[in-house]
Amino acid sequence: MIFYLISVLVILVDQVSKWLVRTHMEVGETIPFWAHLLKFTFYENSGAAFSSFQGFGRYFVIVAVGFVVAIFYYRRKGEIKGLLLNAAAGFLVGGAIGNAIDRVLFNKVTDFLVFGGSNGILNIADVAINAGVVLVLCYMIVGQLKRII
């Protein structure tokens, strides 16, 4: 159940936040939010991470669909089990679908989160994907520690 809850929540928060940015900001506009820790800067990315592969964003929909299908396959097989892995899978699937929706509807992804002095710009789907990766790494580390102890 946690898998579906996280997936749907990520998709909803991601799409609502992107809609708010698209309707209330101009591309390139920056709004400081939380001192020097976070600012909103509206950017449209027609490529992949770090603005690579500009103009090829629609191809990443195929990658996202393949990834989501693989997650559902491995969940059905019982290879993704337990709270940590299901939460990780929920974040990963929600993030993949959130960005895929943008690519299908707009041929680009709306980015707007800039943390600290970083040059990188993200959206909620990207943050969810990062959270999913961190949870998978935690699962792997815990697994290794259990074998050692």
**Structure tokens, 29:** 């506009």
Query: Residue 5 has what pLDDT?
Result: 98
Distances in Å between the Cα of 140 and the Cα atoms of 130, 134, 136, 145 are 15, 10, 6, 9
Indicate the pTM of the whole model.
0.89
Q: Classify 38 as helix, strand or coil.
A: strand
For the chain (149 residues), the mean pLDDT of every run of 10, in chain order, is 97 98 95 85 78 62 94 95 96 97 94 86 96 96 87
pLDDT tens string 105-129:
999 999 999 998 777 899 999 999 9
Candidates 67, 98, 111, 135; catalytic one: 111
Quick check: 112 and 41 in contact, CB under 8 A? yes
Please give the radius of gyration of the chain, using alpha carbons only, rounded to the nearest integer.
Answer: 16
126 is catalytic: yes
Strands 30-34 and 38-45: antiparallel
Listed by start position, the domains of the chain span 2-148
Candidates 71, 87, 126, 128; catalytic one: 126
